Amino acid sequence: MTTPRVTGREDISAAVKSTWQDASRVLIFTNSKVVHSTFETTEAERAALTTVFADRETALKQGLVLGGRRYEVHRFHPPLVYGRTMDGDAETSTGIAILKVDSGKYGSPTYALITYEMPNVSARMVQMLADFGKTCLEG
């Protein structure tokens, strides 16, 4: 599947819709605004998500918290950080991945976050997120 090139807000919505049918949640944001979201989030929650890029130790200790649910970070490979919930059976866990684009279409660091349920696995979803960032968020 090819992700369409993005030039404006309508295009990002179309790109999200065509790319992320297998994601349970999608959030694209900068430090100052939400570009696109399929769920409600707070400014404090978004700010906390960005701190995982500080360093590996911070990411592993802090994890990612979204909607009050903690996701353990398994991989710290900037510009990507990703992991899974660890509060139950691995077959019912939820994956999470966040991408940071330092500069791009929105003029400041932009973040794209997805969550996904089994049978979707990180190997597939994280690569899709990286491709989405190159196609839709980079300048």
For residue 43, give every residue at least 6 positions away whose Cβ sits within 8 Å of its Cβ, in sequence order, or none: none
**Angstrom distance (rounded) from CA 12 to CA 112:** 11
pTM of the model: 0.91
What single string gives the DSSP state of each residue in 9-52? HHHHHHHHHHH-TT-SEEEEEESS-EEEESS---HHHHHHHHGG
Starting at the edge strand that comes first in sequence, how are the strands of the sheet with 34-37 ordered? 34-37, 25-30, 110-117, 94-101, 80-84, 69-77, 64-66
pLDDT at 101: 97
Residue-by-residue pLDDT tens, the chain, 139 positions: 444 444 455 589 999 999 999 999 999 999 999 999 999 999 999 999 999 999 999 999 999 999 999 999 999 999 999 999 988 777 789 999 999 999 888 889 999 999 999 999 999 999 999 999 999 999 7
CATH of domain 9-137: 3.30.450.30
pLDDT at 103: 85
pLDDT at 1: 45
Instruction: Classify burial at 84, counting beta carbons within 10 Å of its beta carbon; exposed 0-12, middle 13-18, buried 19 or more.
Output: buried
Domain ranges of the chain: 9-137
3-class SS of residue 8:
coil
- Maximum Cα–Cα distance across the chain: 41
